[in-house]
Amino acid sequence: MTTVPEVRTRVRIPLRFGEGPAVGSEAVTFAGLSDGLEHVAFVLGKPGPVPLVRLHSECLTGDVFHSARCDCGPQLAEAVARISEVGGYVLYLRQEGRGIGLYNKLDAYALQDSGLDTYAANAALGLPEDARDYTAAAQMLTVLGVQQLDLLTNNPDKVAQLARHGIDVREQVRTGVFANENNVRYLRAKAEQTGHTLALPFEDWPASSAV
Ligand SMILES: Nc1nc2c(ncn2[C@@H]2O[C@H](COP(=O)(O)OP(=O)(O)OP(=O)(O)O)[C@@H](O)[C@H]2O)c(=O)[nH]1
Ligand SMILES: [Zn+2]
């Protein structure tokens, strides 16, 4: 018997990014999600009938420790700021390391330091280049009553997977490009290999310090 997903708890959590005042949010937890993971939705502002939504994949190093090897931290801050202005949701998805987990991601980082790119490093570990499945995200949106949305992302796979689950992505809204000398190789790989809609060309970007 399959369980029908439902809301478990709604609780107020003011969010503070940087020095500014706290942004009001409500965290929503769920029961019965397909993958059994503890994904959390943050409701920001007053979502209208077509809310702005970000599916944010967990990145401990970027989101919490502000690692410069990726762009996750600034993307999360941007998402909270933009979505709280217009009303919508950040779904914080427990998909650390594109779904391979934290230790595997750090193993992959070590391989990248000896020359592999982000996708080849996963492959060298015998792991998928991107293991993320957005079924649970679609379930969360359905439970929240969201059938149509604008999606804040540069990743075409998120749009395609949501569509396959019957969620109507009205518009793909690009996230910012937060390039620095530590993440420029990574961003370039995302644009060139998985079609992320990052602004090209790269000539204006900082030079990579990574090999
Ligand atoms: N395996 C692996 N995961 C990484 C690496 N760098 C970042 N990640 C993870 O990648 C996820 C974020 O994915 P990204 O490809 O940066 O961005 P995206 O979510 O696909 O696309 P956007 O919606 O445009 O941000 C997070 O779970 C990070 O932990 C890496 O080098 N290797
Ligand atoms: Zn990251």
pLDDT digits (tens, 9 = 90+) for 15-36: 999 888 999 999 999 999 999 9
Burial 19-35 (b: 16+ CB within 10 A, else e): eeeebebebbebeebee
Ligand nearest to the CA of 72: 2
Please tell me what DSSP assigns to residue 15. B
DSSP string, 157-209: HHHHHHHHTT-EEEEEEPPP----TTTHHHHHHHHHHH-----S--TTSPPP-
* CATH H superfamily, domain 6-94+134-194: GTP cyclohydrolase II (3.40.50.10990)
Binding residues for Zn(2+): 59, 70, 72
Name the residue of 94, 98, 111, 162 to mutate for ligand 1: max ligand atoms within 8 A of Cβ.
98
Q: Which amino acid is at 192?
A: E
pLDDT digit string (tens) for 84-104?
A: 999 999 999 999 999 999 999
CA distance 60 to 160: 26
- Is residue 205 predicted with pLDDT exceeding 70? no
Helix 156-164 / helix 135-143 crossing angle, nearest 10 deg: 60
What pLDDT does 29 receive? 98
Contact 153, 56 (CB under 8 A): no
CATH 3.40.50.10990 occupies which residues in the chain? 6-94+134-194
Half-sphere exposure of 165 (CA within 13 A, CB side): 21
Say if ligand 1 is within 6 A of residue 100 CB: yes
Tell me which residue of 94, 110, 95, 105 sits closest to 40, measured CA to CA: 94
For 129-174, write each residue's pLDDT tens digit: 999 999 999 999 999 999 999 999 999 999 999 999 999 999 999 9
Q: How many CB atoms lie within 10 A of CB 3?
A: 10
Task: Report the distance separating Cα 203 and Cα 182, nearest Å.
Answer: 16
Q: Which positions are catalytic? A: 130, 132
Could you tell which of 58, 59, 159 is best to mutate to test the pocket of ligand 1, judged by most ligand atoms within 8 Å of the CB?
Answer: 59
Q: Could you tell me which of 125, 112, 119, 105 has the C-alpha nearest to residue 210?
A: 112
